[in-house]
Amino acid sequence: MPKERTVETVIDHIDRNRDRYVRELIELVKIPSISSSSKHRLDVRRCAEYLQHELERIGVRKTRLFETDGHPVVYAEWTENAGAPTVLIYGHYDVQPVDPLDQWVTPPFEPDVRNGRLYGRGSVDDKGQVFAHLKAVEAWLQQTGTLPLNLKFLFEGEEEIGSANLDGFLRDNAALVRSDCVVVSDTPMLARGLPSICYGLRGLAYLQVDVRACASDLHSGSFGGVIGNPLHALVHILDQLKDQSGRIRVPGFYDKVLPLESDERAALAALPFVEQQVLTDTGAQALLGEEGYTTLERLWARPTLDLNGIWGGFIEEGAKTVIPATAHAKLSMRLVPEQDPAVISTAAASYLRSLAPAWATVDVQVLHGGQSWYDPHTDPTFDLAAAALCKGFGVERIAYIREGGSIPFVRTIADATHRPCLLIGFGLPDECAHAPNEWLDLDNYHKGIRSSAYLYDELSQLPTLG
Amino acid sequence: MPKERTVETVIDHIDRNRDRYVRELIELVKIPSISSSSKHRLDVRRCAEYLQHELERIGVRKTRLFETDGHPVVYAEWTENAGAPTVLIYGHYDVQPVDPLDQWVTPPFEPDVRNGRLYGRGSVDDKGQVFAHLKAVEAWLQQTGTLPLNLKFLFEGEEEIGSANLDGFLRDNAALVRSDCVVVSDTPMLARGLPSICYGLRGLAYLQVDVRACASDLHSGSFGGVIGNPLHALVHILDQLKDQSGRIRVPGFYDKVLPLESDERAALAALPFVEQQVLTDTGAQALLGEEGYTTLERLWARPTLDLNGIWGGFIEEGAKTVIPATAHAKLSMRLVPEQDPAVISTAAASYLRSLAPAWATVDVQVLHGGQSWYDPHTDPTFDLAAAALCKGFGVERIAYIREGGSIPFVRTIADATHRPCLLIGFGLPDECAHAPNEWLDLDNYHKGIRSSAYLYDELSQLPTLG
């Protein structure tokens, strides 16, 4: 059968099995694989085992769970096409926490289909995207008994908590992950109907600040006026993190930031990006940001600092007159080339501690970090991926984008392999990743499966490492 | 039997029943009568009914629960001593919330005796002090079959939430509470072995601030840099509440504050108050406060503002990269004569709202308030009370003190009756009222019962309203 005909047979199969693919994804999303929560440790493992079993079921028979100091790595390979190139597919099976739970319309781990959307924690980030590849592989193997190239699969369980053990895994298993190209599906498309390849990710430095002033909570009537209140110290310290214009005041924060080149600024400006859409998607009243940069530049190519959580004292219904003993905050910085997360974390921790009043103790913990990543996307591999996306989605063009989020693995594998990383995600910007009511557009899920099937065909043209 | 002999018989009885009084108090402290929590509504009622039953059991047979829009008022009277003066005893049977629960050594509603202390929520504030009166009354009635004066009892269930319904109750039942003197036992002694009469209380204005910036929580990678973060707005707003020196920046806040008179300043300076003890009791590293005032002046006669709680975003274990939709804080101001809680609340709410950035909504709710109170303590009733305390505690002198906390009832009843209010409390400053591991010194509990028994005898000399 001619090659073109073969691909179309696979695509036909995918189109006929659309509903089954949704039902099967629902089973995966049901597993509460929250990597940050020690009480979900066994659920995370169960999710890894579920994926391992799925890989074997669809015909990828060489599979293994690699233990780490944290959650296991699911590794698998199908390498029966001698002489063909080898592609490594990366995704993650862990998910974000679910609070605030009361804002979910349906429970986060009871996936629910409404209006062509699958609601559930991890539906888009990243279980739906992982499954898009598994379904494409399944279709190839069911229809043709083979794949047009060799595939390796690496699904980690710690992406949402900074991939702390992945570097060690990659170091210990360098030969295993050796490949001609890496494919990552964990990024959004710029807009509906516009499949996108992402060529830049921000890095991350995540800290927790703990302020302590006295031994236990005190009555604010009996002690108010003479005892330092850690909540006041905390809000004062946190308010020193940025100046009035939003500029981050951590000493040295901007020192290593690479400026944007004018040709990239022009390319970003040409993207069909609608600012109003961000307001609609978020319900925000206005867009803000750093003077002298566009919204996309602020999101993709400029570093930021956000408080992610704050707590202390009495936070229940009613009125309790207490001076608490402690106050706490979590904050993270999104970093860009060439900011180093370790250097930035150290600088931020020192700065935070330097703001402590004499009567309070300020402790700073570094919770996690990750490097930013940037690829000039000039390698011809990008053109092959673009062609697959156009066919998979039935469109004429794709967008080259960057992403404000962080996937620490990408930088690690790119540095290790010196091969292109294709960040091809099938999510939409408003699918509430990390927020209540996360959802996956089921039409994009289907087109993602189609695109993956085309992608394997296109990438079979890659030169091999030899 | 000579009068002096009669009192000593009652005191002997009290000394012989010391252990039983502790066992009986434990039953009262077991009831989780948290007035601020709607889920404890029935427990609060159960506590009121328990007190009503106790009053009847000890021989105060005219009792009644008065319904209010909130929790019931327990009212009782023993008025069988025609021609003798009538004293109204006020206390409260509701308690503060118990969080942070994990800091309690033993559960808050499973009272535990350790080293002569009774640990449990409400043990000192205010169940132990209410029970000191009930046990003194019981002893008088058991030993003599009568009381040396007439007593009325008013125990409310909303003191910890601002006594919102007490004003209405007092207005509707003015004749019921008519009395020659009011006794309140809900304040601490200045120090162990130094019984104290309190002649001033601070008022209170308690607010909640809610900041909202977008419709739901957002991924800080996908939106960080262009979407306003309500946590940043909140810490900025809250940090504007005081200047560097701690002076409160709410416009007009200090306008009505009465300055301290020089003779009162001298009296306060002469009190045997040890600053080091505050550091020991609280574990604080230093005492702070308003320039130009002593620690006692700051605590008792100057207004303050304290954040009582703050929350927003991700506050669990681990690291979640979220820009939350909302951020919240609770704060309260302690007020002094002649600051009005309603005026101050309005000014603070306006000021907080005025600090809102254009991209966020700041809502302020007034949760509760209460007037301050001050009595120059020149009425001879104070001398009678001082004599009773000296005999009850076996000491030569007492202290006249003020108190940093708030008991809204006192101002209300003082304004209504134009009679002296005796604030005679048996707590110690370090008994963790409002905090985890609240405790009551059982020796003071016993001396409080003795003092109450002496007090009824002393106050029988009061002139009656006639």
Chain B interface, mutation test: which of A220, A328, A372, most B Cβ atoms within 10 Å?
A: A220
pLDDT of B3 reads 66
| pTM, to two decimals | 0.88
The reply to whether domains B3-201+372-459 and B203-261+300-369 share a CATH topology is no
Q: What is the pLDDT of residues B407-447, one digit of tens each?
A: 888 998 998 888 999 999 999 988 988 889 999 999 999 99
Given a cut of 90, is residue A140 above it in pLDDT? yes
pLDDT of B416 reads 84
Judged by CB atoms within 8 Å, which residues 57-96 of A form the interface with B? 96
Which of A110, A49, A99, A32 has the alpha carbon at shortest distance from A309?
A: A99
Give B4's pLDDT tier (boundaries 50, 70, 90). low
pLDDT of A61 reads 92
Which of B352, B338, B347, B344 has the alpha carbon at shortest distance from B369?
A: B344
Which of B422, B452, B99 has the alpha carbon at shortest distance from A315?
A: B99
CATH 3.30.70.360 fits B203-261+300-369, yes or no: yes
Judged by CB atoms within 8 Å, which residues 235-274 of A form the interface with B? 235-236, 238-239, 242
Spell out the residues 6+ positions from residue B284 whose beta carbon is closer than 8 angstroms to its own.
Answer: A213, A214, A215, A227, A228, A359, B278
Q: Which letter does DSSP use for residue B205 in this model?
A: E
Contact B367 A278 (CB under 8 A): no
pLDDT of A165 reads 92
Contact B286 A358 (CB under 8 A): yes
Mean pLDDT of chain B: 95
Of A221, A313, A368, the CB nearest to B404: A221
Chain B CB within 8 Å of residue A292 CB: no
pLDDT above 70 as % of chain B: 99
DSSP line for B422-462: EEEE-B-TTS-TTSTT-EEEHHHHHHHHHHHHHHHHHHTTS
Chain A CB within 8 Å of residue B8 CB: no
Most confident of A311-325, B238-252, B310-324: B238-252
Class of domain B3-201+372-459: alpha beta
Chain B interface, mutation test: which of A41, A223, A245, A288, most B Cβ atoms within 10 Å?
A: A223
**Kind and range of the H or E element at B284?**
none
Mean pLDDT of chain A: 95
pLDDT average, residue stretch B330-340? 97
| Token pair in block for residue A90 | 């990366």
Tell me the three-class secondary structure of chain A, residue by residue.
CCHHHHHHHHHHHHHHCHHHHHHHHHHHHCCCCECCCHHHHHHHHHHHHHHHHHHHHHCCCEEEEECCCCCCEEEEEECCCCCCCEEEEEEECCECCCCCHHHCCCCCCCCEEECCEEECCCHHHHHHHHHHHHHHHHHHHHHHCCCCCEEEEEEECCHHHCCCCHHHHHHHCCCCCCCCEEEECCCECCECCECEEEEEECEEEEEEEEEECCCCCEEHHHHCCCECCHHHHHHHHHHCCECCCCCECCCCCCCCCCCCCHHHHHHHHHCCCCHHHHHHHHCCCCECCCCCCCHHHHHHCCCEEEEEEEEEECCCCCCCCEECCEEEEEEEEEECCCCCHHHHHHHHHHHHHHCCCCCCEEEEEEEEEECCEECCCCCCHHHHHHHHHHHHHCCCCCEEEEECCCCHHHHHHHHHHCCCEEEEECECCCCCCCCCCCEEEHHHHHHHHHHHHHHHHHHCCCCCCC
Nearest chain A alpha carbon to B299: A225
pLDDT of A211 reads 98
pLDDT of A1 reads 54
CATH number of A203-261+296-370: 3.30.70.360
| Whole-angstrom distance, CA of residue A164 vs CA of residue A367 | 10
Strand, helix or coil at B252?
coil
Nearest chain A alpha carbon to B36: A318
pLDDT of A368 reads 86
| Token pair in block for residue A376 | 């000039």
Give A25's pLDDT tier (boundaries 50, 70, 90). very high
Write out chain A residues lying below 8 Å of B38, CB-based: 317
Given a cut of 60, is residue B1 above it in pLDDT? no
Write out chain B residues lying below 8 Å of A371, CB-based: none
Given a cut of 80, is residue A249 above it in pLDDT? yes
Given a cut of 60, is residue B389 above it in pLDDT? yes
Given a cut of 60, is residue B395 above it in pLDDT? yes
Nearest chain B alpha carbon to A307: B231
pLDDT of A4 reads 64
Q: What is the pLDDT of residues A198-208, one digit of tens each?
A: 999 999 999 99
pLDDT of A409 reads 87
Judged by CB atoms within 8 Å, which residues 120-179 of B form the interface with A? 160-162
Write out chain A residues lying below 8 Å of B108, CB-based: none
A383 forms bridges with which residues in the sheet? none
Give me the sign of the Cα torsion angle B296, B300, B304, B307.
positive
CB B227 within 8 A of CB A284: yes
Candidate list A94, A126, A441, A458, residue with the active-site label? A94
Spell out the residues 6+ positions from residue A171 whose beta carbon is closer than 8 angstroms to its own.
Answer: none
Domain ranges of chain B: 3-201+372-459, 203-261+300-369
pLDDT of A429 reads 82
pLDDT average, residue stretch B18-43? 97
Which of the residues of B are catalytic? 94, 159
Given a cut of 80, is residue B193 above it in pLDDT? yes
Query: A29 CA to chain B: closest CA distance, Å?
Result: 19
pLDDT above 90 as % of chain A: 87
How many beta carbons lie within 10 A of that of residue B18, not counting itself? 15
pLDDT of B429 reads 82
Q: Which residue has the higher pLDDT, A241 or A278?
A: A241
Write out chain A residues lying below 8 Å of B328, CB-based: 315
Contact A219 B433 (CB under 8 A): yes
Chain A interface, mutation test: which of B103, B204, B223, most A Cβ atoms within 10 Å?
A: B223
Given a cut of 70, is residue A93 above it in pLDDT? yes
CB A194 within 8 A of CB A220: no
| Whole-angstrom distance, CA of residue A279 vs CA of residue B228 | 11
Sheet hosting strand B439-441, strand order edge to edge: B112-114, B117-119, B439-441
pLDDT of A465 reads 65
Q: What is the pLDDT of residues A148-190, one digit of tens each?
A: 999 999 999 999 887 889 989 999 999 999 999 999 999 899 9
Write out chain A residues lying below 8 Å of B235, CB-based: 234-235, 238-239, 307, 310
Query: B38 CA to chain A: closest CA distance, Å?
Result: 9
Judged by CB atoms within 8 Å, which residues 400-419 of A form the interface with B? 403-406
Q: What is the pLDDT of residues A183-197, one digit of tens each?
A: 999 989 999 999 999
Q: What is the pLDDT of residues A344-365, one digit of tens each?
A: 999 999 999 999 999 999 999 9
Spell out the residues 6+ positions from residue A125 whose beta carbon is closer than 8 angstroms to its own.
Answer: A95, A96, A186, A427, A431, A433, A434, A438
| Whole-angstrom distance, CA of residue B39 vs CA of residue A92 | 41
Query: B58 CA to chain A: closest CA distance, Å?
Result: 33
Task: Evaluate the omega torsion of the peptide bond into residue B126 and state whether it is cis, within 30 degrees of 0.
Answer: yes
pLDDT average, residue stretch A420-431? 92
Query: B214 CA to chain A: closest CA distance, Å?
Result: 4
pLDDT of A163 reads 86
Given a cut of 60, is residue A110 above it in pLDDT? yes
pLDDT of B266 reads 97
Give B146's pLDDT tier (boundaries 50, 70, 90). very high
Given a cut of 90, is residue A430 above it in pLDDT? no
Given a cut of 70, is residue B2 above it in pLDDT? no
Spell out the residues 6+ positions from residue B176 whose beta carbon is closer than 8 angstroms to its own.
Answer: B75, B152
Contact A322 B309 (CB under 8 A): yes
Give B466's pLDDT tier (boundaries 50, 70, 90). low
Of A202, A216, A327, the CB nearest to B221: A202
Q: What is the pLDDT of residues A443-459, one digit of tens each?
A: 999 999 999 999 999 99
